[in-house]
Amino acid sequence: MQIEGAVIKEQNTTFAVVVVKREVLSDLYRAQDAIRSFSPIFPGIPIVLMAQDHRGTPSYYGRSDISKFMASVPLQAIPWRRYDIH
């Protein structure tokens, strides 16, 4: 299985952004579970989840300072790549 994500370093903070389905962000338990499940891929760094609505507008869930920062970043500026999950 693969996920789409990015590792970003901004203002001396390194963190990961992972794309999930919109319904994951709608359920706090599922969102927290998703972050836990992605932590082996991004060990030791905070993980923020991103989902898009039907218009392509992103929403973020995770550490509030990172989520707030990511809301101001254009999607095309994020260095997306695919990660394998085993």
Kindly tell me if the per-residue pLDDT of 74 is higher than 80.
yes
Instruction: Count the Cβ atoms, other than its own, within 10 Å of residue 82.
Output: 8
pLDDT, one tens digit per residue, over 15-24 is: 999 999 999 9
| Beta carbons of 41 and 49 less than 8 angstroms apart | no
What average pLDDT does this structure show over 26-49? 96
| Beta carbons of 49 and 61 less than 8 angstroms apart | yes
Whole-model pTM above 0.85? yes
| CATH code, 2-84 | 3.40.1350
| Beta carbons of 25 and 71 less than 8 angstroms apart | no
Let me know how long the chain is. Answer: 86
